[in-house]
Amino acid sequence: MAKLDPVTLEVVGNHLISTVREMGTTLMRTAYSTIMREQMDCTTALFDPQGQLVAQADHVPSHQGTLSHAAKHVAAQMNLEPGDVAIMNHPYRGGTHHPDIMIFKPVFHDGAMVALSAALGHHLDVGGRSPGSVATDARDVFEEGLLIPPMKLYRAGKLVPEVFDFIEANIRVPKKTLGDIRAEVAAVTVGERRYQELCRKYGGPALGQIIQGLLDHSETMMRRDLAALPDGRYEAEGFMDSDGIVDQPVRIAVAVTLDRGAVTVDFTGSSDQVRGPFNCSVSSVNSAVYCAVRYMVDPAIMQNEGCYRPISIVVPPRSVVSPQAPAPLSGRFHTMERIATTIVLAFNRARGAQAVGANHAHLASFSASGTFPGTRDPWVLFDITGGGWGGTSSGDGLDATFGLMANCLDTPVEALELDYPLRVERYELVPDSGGPGQFRGGLGLRRDVRYLAGEGYFTNRSEAQKFPAVGTLGGRPGQPSRQALRRADGTVETLPSKITNLTIRAGDVVEMVTAGGGGYGNPGERDPALVLADVADGKVSASAAREAYGVTVATTGGPVS
């Protein structure tokens, strides 16, 4: 290790980062579904032969710990040969939840396995009782869709057609799902090729040493930044609206202990395992913790297994963060968001003036289905939107942005309307949704989508109706989320944050409104010029400017002044 020079580490590290980004671009450009092609709900990564993360693309943060957990499982349990490709999604055998199908391809050099090339994508449908495989009232994993334990999709470079046949027979939109799986295979093949290029340049054993040096460097940088925070135990709690079955809040309790560059995150006191599908698999809990802690350190630290070494996790058994099979968990992303947000709130107590207002801590997501007009061909949509981030000591929170655990994009209106018999009729920021503060919370988003033809099903899987984002250091809460179904006859059904398989018909409109972020600091200390600019931009109403900030804005027929 003493022979490793910083220039080599930097060159190889950037080659690896470039590789996983190229893998991600390949995946998105060859994917069939809008959820991967447009929204970027996918991730690519490289691992060493033991399943330690080497590099990961800048896609979905929630996949960082989940892919690592699965890679270790695959490396330990499967006998992989050159040309093999493994597939899996089983949440109790290393996976996350049913729609996240993972693909792994071993990388060989001089007859030895030197790495694993990996991809993960959220698929439109993997079966189960609800189109989109997002039932909010599932009572076990068998209601949530097809379970794929780690198995070989390719053997020695040849497709195992029975695996594709089996998957196709159990899902609603096989053309898109199987096309997306092929896109993942294309991505891991790019990773294999690029990693072999590095092996030819440096040699397999020498490259392995360089990789370990990169992991050690990331660990050192993580410990340095964590050690800059005051040691101690810091607690916080957060709540989800319900588990989808019982209308009672679900508690996430967090105690963060900082000790000379190491951190322990303890979930003792969290709710017991719940009946509905909002339990969180072990891999997903790891991911939420890793992601939240990473927000506390320099973002330039290379993302790899070394980042995780200073972090310890304590989970009470048979709890919402440590469920026992076959507990349902397809909605675990909402739990992950609440976990990450609650960890940040705990860190707020150690960060003083660098505390942040809470972000919206949810993902407003809905699934719709039907058949294309004039055909019997089925379609399934899964669409997700972000909300407001919290204000900080440096400025206002981001508007209409995905939460701590996602890095996705809204589906462009044109892409949605080209792929589906749907029309987007309203797409806008929500005025006054950000929590007031010296620096206000970011705004939530409203998106209304009309169902144009036939009949199908609609499922709302959202959060934050009951527990909006809290402010910090005198900042006020953001507005909660809300969802509704406006029928063609004009009647409006106000929806809970979780409801499954409502019948939807031509002319009905789905109204999705996401939550705003919490404010930072006393609203009375906000610069009146910023209030004026917000009113002029339509982000804050004149009445809210007066009531929340004490700023009277003249709007009598002319420009705001």
β-bridge mates for residue 483, sequence order: 495, 512
- What pLDDT was estimated at residue 63? 83
Choose among 355, 273, 383: nearest CA to 319.
273
Residues contacting residue 561 through CB under 8 Å, at least 6 positions apart: 532, 553, 554
In a domain, 447, yes or no: yes
Q: Is residue 229 part of a domain?
A: no
482-486, strands of its sheet edge to edge: 422-429, 445-451, 509-513, 482-486, 492-495
Nearest to 215 by CA among 355, 384, 46: 46
Residue 343 lies in a domain: no
Residue 512 lies in a domain: yes
| Residue 116 placed within a domain | yes
All residues at 6 or more sequence positions from 371 whose CB lies less than 8 Å from its CB, including other chains:
377, 378, 379, 454, 456
CB 37, CB 31: distance < 8 Å: yes
DSSP β-bridge partners for residue 101? 121
476: CB partners within 8 A, 6+ apart:
435, 436, 437, 518, 519, 523, 548
Predicted TM-score (pTM) of the model is 0.96
DSSP H or E segment with residue 290: helix 282-294
Task: Chunk the chain into consecutive blocks of 10 residues (it has 561) and report each block's average pLDDT, rounded to whole numbers.
Answer: 80 97 97 95 96 92 85 95 97 92 98 97 96 96 96 98 97 97 98 98 95 96 98 98 97 98 98 97 93 96 96 98 97 96 98 97 92 95 96 97 91 96 98 98 98 97 96 98 97 97 97 98 97 96 96 73 60
3-state secondary structure of 502: strand
Residue 151, helix vs strand vs coil: strand
Establish if 422 belongs to a structural domain.
yes
**Residue at which a domain ends, from 172, 197, 220:** 220
Cα 524 to Cα 528: distance, rounded to the nearest angstrom: 9
Residue 558: predicted pLDDT: 56
Any domain includes 256: no
The answer to whether residues 256 and 264 touch, using CB atoms and an 8 Å cutoff, is yes
**Among the three residues 220, 242, 264, which one is the final residue of a domain in this structure?**
220
Number of domains in the chain: 2
Residues 6+ away with beta carbon under 8 Å from 455: 370, 503, 504, 505, 506
Q: Which domain holds residue 403?
A: 355-526
Handedness of CA 242, 243, 245, 249 (dihedral sign): negative
The SS3 call for residue 470 is coil
* 371 is a domain residue: yes
Q: CB of 338 within 8 A of CB of 239?
A: yes
Which residues have a Cβ under 8 Å from the Cβ of 451 and sit 6 or more positions away?
A: 368, 370, 421, 422, 458, 504, 505, 506, 507, 508, 509, 510
- The closest of 443, 366, 438, 448 to 401, measured between CA atoms, is 443
Token pair in block for residue 69:
């957990």
3-class state of residue 446 by DSSP: strand
At residue 554, what is the residue type? A
Same domain for 216 and 361, yes or no, is no
Last residue of a domain, one of 220, 238, 257: 220
Joined tokens for residue 297: 């350190």
Beta carbons within 8 Å of 185's beta carbon, 6+ residues apart:
85, 103, 105, 119, 153, 154
